[in-house]
Structure 1
Amino acid sequence: MNRSEQDMVDKAKALLVQQHQAAQAEQRLGEVNKHLSQLENTQDAQAAVLDDLFEDMMRLMNGQSLSAEATTLAPLAVPMFDELEPIQVSGVSWDIYLNELDSYAARHDVTGLDDPFVHLLTTRQLHDLAMSFKEEFLLKEAECDRYDYMIASFSGLVAGVIDSFFVGSPTDSKFRSWSDEKVDNVVIKFANLVWKQDKKNGARLRKQPDSIASAIGFLERRFKVNYDARYASDLKMGATTLNMRPSDHHLKSLAHAPDIIGLFFSILDQFTGKASFISDGRLLRLEPKEDGTQVLQGGNVLAKLFAGFANWIGHLLSDVSGSSGVRGHDDGRRGAGIPLPFFELFQFADFGQVSHKGKTLSFADFSTKVFESGYDARHGVAMAVPVVFNELVIRLLWGLKSLFYHKNGWLESIPVGNKPTLRKMLLVGHGALCLTDGMDAYIRSGNVPILFATRLNYVAWSRFAFASMQELKHVLGKDVYDWKAVDAHLEQEWKKLSGEY
């Protein structure tokens, strides 16, 4: 439970306790009204007695005899009430107030604090909320017509043609120069940003990075890490074996992965002074011979975590375009970049048999050969072009069809959120793209595994796998909800409540 959700639950508990206090006060008010009614009746009876006594006094004064019946005054019963227990609100912090709420609930046996929302809402409100939630967030069955399928298939086919003729493999990609240039520009801009900030903070720096080689060199010096070993000889191996060279050390070093796995192992390696590698399907934790790591800055763990995260980002950008030594020459060499997100997981697949240049390799070793052929994050930028094109075209045409053909409103035609038809169209469109990509890779590879693998669009197949999982959850599950949309809705409502509060 995150902080926002916890705050919401705490406020619900406060409302539940206040509801209990209001019920206690209402009950006390009923008891007071009951005693007031009894006092009024007693007062009326005593008034009648006083009238009789006055008449007797008048008879005595006139020498007359008293009435036969003696009148007596009934005693007044004074009710006693237990004091209501208030909870101090003003002048205390929210945490102290919550502690007092818990103490009050324990003394008065207030139930329902484990799930306060159920006890705060009426049965009718709970029913209406459940129906509204189901209508808005339940993944509904897609009702695609033939035009929807035609749009998705045609878009996927066009994207597949773009992938086949312009993306291809890392060696013959028409987008290779473009994607390399875009990545280089990002590296240069980041290096200049860091250089200016360091210069502003008093660092003694000379020339500002003005080329990709100088930018990489600056970032390599600025974001040194302990896990950047290029050879097994750079590590204290002992009896452990690790077949690694400069062309594949970014793939075998888990901390060089641009995903959540890489971030985890980068932080772990920086804190422990060790380096994490994958060899023969096994995870190895080794100690470098020379520790070139800067001490993590910060006076507490949170600050050190942030410093480790910054080192990870900076070091990835120093490696994404190759090394400064390789990129400093005009021989066309690109150098070893960083792997695609989660591509490093293939290193655990130390099984299978794939033929490569007369040798039989495992899937892990074969994926290393694929990476060394230029199938890295830079090529991933090129592979993302037809995928993004396909995504945008399908979403745009779905929105236009919803607006002008189905006559829906502008808000209903925005191509985001829980739209079953759009979900199915994206599945079909990305499926058509992957089908075209697979056929092209098979035909052009000439039954050569390495050529087939390098022509496959990793980004397109990843997107298709995600769309398939979304559809599979709906098909297999009876009530499957779009929890991403639920989280976004709750976040929006929380901001409203926080602003009002």
Structure 2
Amino acid sequence: MSNDKGDYLTDGLRVAVHHKQMLDQLGSEHDEQRYSLDAAINSSEALLRRLGKALPVKDSSTSNTLQVITPVRTKSWEEILAEAKQAIPGEVDFNDVLTPAEIDAVSAKHQKLGEHLGWLGSLDRYDVALAVSAGILSGLIDIFLVQVPAHPGFLGSPASEGGWLSNKVKELFGEVLPPDKIKELEGLYKVSFDPSTSKGLEEAVAGLGPRTHRYQSLGHDPILGFIFGVKDVLCGEFTAIDKFGNVIVQQTAAPLLEGEHFIIRLLEAIRKVGGHLASDVATSAGLPPPLMPLLSFFQFGTIGKQGYTIAEVARQMYRSGYDLRHFIAASVPLAISELIVRLGFMVRKLNAGATLAEAFPNAAHPQLRRQLLIAHGVAGVINAGKVTVTSNPLSISWPLVLTLLRYGMPEMMYLIYGQEKERAKLVETEIMADYRAIHQELDTQLKMLPHIVI
């Protein structure tokens, strides 16, 4: 076969066109020879009749003649392909082999192979009903139990004592990390990325203050902290984003364990970052929600009477109590809807006869991912209504935003690239199955051919 795997269909088409041309030529020659032979036989029979001779009777008895089968050398694919390329050096097309009606029939057949990959084909009414129900439940939990973090008033909205679930999560963190434990951790895990003001810094960081320094320091982000925070500790630096969206990196301490083996330094840096984040999570300001500080780069928008940008609103949200603890509380309804949808997906697959591995609720499966998108999309609509009614950005579910991005981006990439690629694989599998069927049929017909008598 061709070295280029992508050309095997073209090579196969070229061979098919060449063989069709040879078969057409052989068929034409066979018809001419048969016509000539029939004419000669008819002429001979007519002559014998005119001479009054009886026509010979066909002998139907079995012949005892020794039958010798002359083996035919089978050509390799490379030889067959070389002959086809020599005979047809130019471009080949399916129109050279198939009629328009046959091409339409094949196209329709292949088109049906990808029907189940689309949204309408991959989900039935039960899948949609389960996803919508889970989304509604998630939205209702967010409205009645999560609500907003406790705050004294935000962008004109009245003060709030906070939702039951939000306050409960804060209480649990307070029980696990009481003030004396926090003080102990603060003493053990001092880091270079913890300046609370610009005092003593080589370069001032606009907006940096005791209430916002964790939001502006990338080392305090629960996710980014294990990248930028570890880097800062290793290098003795402080990486911050000022309130205008500028990234500022400056030296604030000596590099960690300079001269030691890098692996030892890395492990110690990770330990320090983890310990420092633990010391901050249960304080009054807490830690910022994961990835939320990146909104500092969104220096646009006009929100509220003050005309705040998205970056400023996000910063003010953190100052008003929207921290990691509230983020965890807001994640609970999402976790419940995820559990419902994933369990439903698994049960239905198992009932349909799938194996445990096939039924495993992996979000990479398009059907499950779409169910989750529907569930979180419904919850998102409810959350948008909550924000509209309260006129309070603190009502926004940041974990829901991240979750929609988590599933929405892969689905978009799948619809643009992956869906057609998967459909092409199905078509390729169908073509190869047809090839095997043709080979099987040819083998059967060859076995049925009469032996050649020599």
Is TM-score (shorter-chain normalized) higher than 0.5? yes
Aligned ranges for residues 73-92 of structure 1 at < 5 Å? none
Q: Is the 8 A contact 1:224 1:294 kept in 2?
A: no
1:46-61 map, 5 Å: none
**Aligned match of 2:328:** 381
What is the TM-score normalised by the length of structure 1? 0.55
Q: Give the counterpart letter for 1:215 in structure 2.
A: K
> Where do 1:14-33 residues align within 5 Å?
none
1:456 corresponds to which of 361, 372, 396: 396
SS in 1 for 2:227: helix
Match of 1:278 in 2: 241
| 1:226 corresponding residue in structure 2 | 192
For the 8 Å contact 1:281–1:349, the answer to whether it is kept is yes
Alignment CA distance shift 1:157-1:364 (3 Å): same
Report the 3-state secondary structure (helix = DSSP H, G, I; strand = E; otherwise coil) of the residue aligned with 1:354.
coil
**Counterpart pick for 1:253 among 199, 213, 217:** 217
Separation (CA, whole Å) in 2 of partners of 1:150 and 1:419: 18
Gaps of 5+ in 1: 1-138, 189-211, 323-334, 446-450, 483-501
Q: Structure 2 stretches of 5 or more lacking a match?
A: 1-115, 151-161, 423-454
Task: Give the distance between the partners of 1:481 and 1:375, measured in 2 at CA.
Answer: 42
Code of the aligned partner of 2:248 = L
Inter-CA distance 231–415: structure 2 relative to 1 (3 Å threshold): same
Secondary structure, aligned partner of 2:289: coil
Q: Which residue of 2 aligns with 1:372?
A: 319
Q: 1:241: how far off?
A: 5.2
Aligned equivalents of 1:455, 1:151: Cα separation in 2: 26
Task: Please list the CA deviations of residues 72-128 of structure 1 after superposition, one character each: whole Å capped at 9, or x if unmatched.
Answer: xxxxxxxxxxxxxxxxxxxxxxxxxxxxxxxxxxxxxxxxxxxxxxxxxxxxxxxxx
Contact 2:256/2:269 (8 A) holds in 1: no
Does residue 317 (structure 1) correspond to residue 278 (structure 2)? The answer is yes
Distance 1:463 1:418 in 2: 14
CA pair 217-409 structure 1, distance change in 2 beyond 3 A? same
The structure 2 residue matched to 1:477, chosen from 395, 408, 417, is 417
Task: Tell me the residue number matched to 1:49.
Answer: none
Are residues 428 and 230 of structure 1, via their aligned partners in 2, closer, same or farther at CA, if it must alter by over 3 Å? Answer: same
Amino acid at match of 2:238: A
Residue of structure 2 equivalent to 1:393: 340
Query: Residue 469 of structure 1: CA displacement?
Result: 1.4
Contact 1:179/1:382 (CA < 8 Å) preserved in 2? yes
Aligned mate of 2:225, from 262, 268, 280:
262
SS at match of 1:284: strand
Aligned-residue CA RMSD in angstroms? Answer: 2.4
- 1:301 & 1:182 partners in 2: Cα distance? 37
User: Is 1:352 aligned to residue 301 of structure 2?
Assistant: yes
Cα shift at 1:420: 2.9
Residue in 2 aligned with 1:326? none
1:175 positional shift: 0.7
Amino acid at match of 1:167: V
C-alpha contact (below 8 Å) 2:218/2:293 kept by paired residues: yes
- For 2:184 and 2:217, the matched residues in 1 are separated by 22
- Name the CA shift for 1:153/1:234 in 2 (closer, same or farther; >3 Å): same
CA distance in structure 2 between the aligned counterparts of 1:317 and 1:410, rounded to whole angstroms: 38
Task: Tell me the secondary structure at the aligned position of residue 270 of structure 1.
Answer: helix
Normalized against structure 2, the TM-score is what?
0.60
**Aligned with 2:359: secondary structure?**
coil
**Structure 1 pair 221–476 and aligned structure 2 pair: CA distance change class (3 A):** same
Q: Is the 8 A contact 2:301 2:307 kept in 1?
A: no
When residues 420 and 264 of structure 1 are mapped into structure 2, their CA distance, relative to the original with a 3 A threshold, is: closer
Structure 1 residues 337 and 481: alpha-carbon distance in aligned structure 2, compared to 1, 3 A threshold: farther
Asked if 1:178 is matched to 2:127, the reply is no
Question: Equivalent residue of 2:358, what SS?
Answer: coil
Structure 1 position 478, deviation (Å) = 4.5
CA 1:222–1:394: 2 relative to 1, 3 Å: same
**CA displacement 1:16-59 (0-9 Å, x = unmatched):** xxxxxxxxxxxxxxxxxxxxxxxxxxxxxxxxxxxxxxxxxxxx
- CA gap 1:480/1:432 in 2 versus in 1, 3 angstroms: same
Amino acid at match of 1:147: Y
Count of residue pairs the alignment pairs up? 293
